[in-house]
Structure 1
């Protein structure tokens, strides 16, 4: 996968999440499994 494909796929997935009827639940999941930038360094 190259950078262009990654950007395209990331955009596709974010659009699906944004259009979802469960968008709040989906975002809560992403927030729960994502590390803070401070924690990642």
Structure 2
């Protein structure tokens, strides 16, 4: 019974968003349960911090971070 009320409320909310011109999207994100997740976050954070201190262009700092993603597979 309660679940039905929640489903109806969610449907009403989603319908209102669609009427407003929005649509739902699905976004896949990294699995935080992976053993190397924290290590990869630290690696990328250090790259971003070093680039910020150097005053580098943000796009140039992203290139090395993204290059390392090839080895980090699901």
Q: TM-score, normalised by structure 1?
A: 0.48
Higher relative contact order (CA 8 A, sep 6+): 1
Specify the structure having the higher radius of gyration (Cα): 2
Q: TM-score, normalised by structure 2?
A: 0.29
